[in-house]
């Protein structure tokens, strides 16, 4: 199931890069799709299919004592790895390169899933860690939804094209609003 999960998350995550545009900027679709080209939105399109895959892996592994530890740490890996990989390579190239961005995305998907399956196949970890991982998972889910509509004003959330944040960072929306102001 590891490989199927990786393939599912990679394909859905790739499609989610375009679904906000395809939906004609639907606010509901914005919750789980990339609304601009910021690093946060790329984190989000990796988290969305991971949450969706949880419907399956929760059914299969939900009674495993380490399920919530594996799930919360696999999501944390996404939140950490995408920025580290992206900003590490762009520190050398001084620009974003689409092929490398896609490779970074897929590396993150693979690592996230390997972390999850590692914990699922490990001896049960003490309950205090399970409890803490449930709290972490709660905050990850809340941040996932909240930060789309209330992005922080920092580099992770700033669209590199429009130089704006969140929904207003979408270049077509920005262009559309600019035309209506004149």
* CA-wise closest residue to 73 among 39, 50, 45, 93: 50
Give percent above pLDDT 70 in the chain. Answer: 93
Q: Using the structure block, give the residue that is written with the tokens 């509901």.
A: 28
Taking CA atoms, 55 is separated from 61, 110, 156, 180, in Å, by 10, 18, 28, 43
Between CA 56 and CA 61 the distance in angstroms is 9
pLDDT in tens, 14-46: 999 999 999 999 989 998 999 999 999 999 999
Between CA 14 and CA 144 the distance in angstroms is 17
Between CA 64 and CA 60 the distance in angstroms is 9
Between CA 154 and CA 166 the distance in angstroms is 11
Q: Any bridge partners for residue 165, and if so which?
A: 158
Between CA 57 and CA 4 the distance in angstroms is 11
- Predicted confidence at residue 175, as pLDDT, reads 43
> Helices 98-120 and 67-93 meet at what angle, rounded to 10?
160
pLDDT in tens, 114-138: 999 999 999 999 999 999 999 999 9
Taking CA atoms, 150 is separated from 37, 61, 132, 143, in Å, by 16, 33, 25, 10
**CB-count burial class (<10 Å; 0-12, 13-18, 19+) for 32:** buried
Asked if 174 and 26 touch (Cβ cutoff 8 Å), the reply is: no
What is the rounded average pLDDT for all residues in the chain? 90
pTM, two decimals, is: 0.88
Give CA angle at 108 (103, 111), nearest 5°: 125
Local confidence band at 1 (pLDDT 50, 70, 90 cut-offs) = confident
């Amino acid at each position: 199931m590891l490989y199927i999960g990786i393939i599912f998350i990679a394909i859905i995550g790739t499609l989610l890069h375009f679904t906000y545009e395809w939906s004609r900027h639907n606010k509901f679709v914005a919750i789980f799709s990339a609304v601009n080209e910021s690093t946060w939105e790329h984190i989000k399109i990796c988290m969305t299919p991971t949450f969706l895959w949880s419907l399956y892996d929760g059914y299969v592994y939900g009674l495993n004592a380490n399920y919530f530890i594996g799930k919360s740490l696999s999501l944390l890996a996404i939140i950490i790895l995408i920025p580290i990989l992206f900003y590490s390579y762009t520190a050398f190239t001084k620009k974003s390169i689409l092929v490398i961005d896609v490779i970074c995305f897929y590396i993150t998907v693979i690592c996230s899933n390997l972390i999850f399956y590692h914990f699922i196949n490990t001896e049960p970890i003490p309950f205090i860690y399970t409890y803490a991982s449930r709290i972490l998972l709660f905050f990850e889910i809340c941040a996932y939804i909240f930060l789309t509509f209330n992005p922080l004003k920092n580099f992770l959330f700033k669209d590199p094209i429009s130089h704006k944040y969140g929904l207003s960072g979408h270049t077509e929306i920005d262009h559309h609003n600019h035309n209506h102001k004149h």
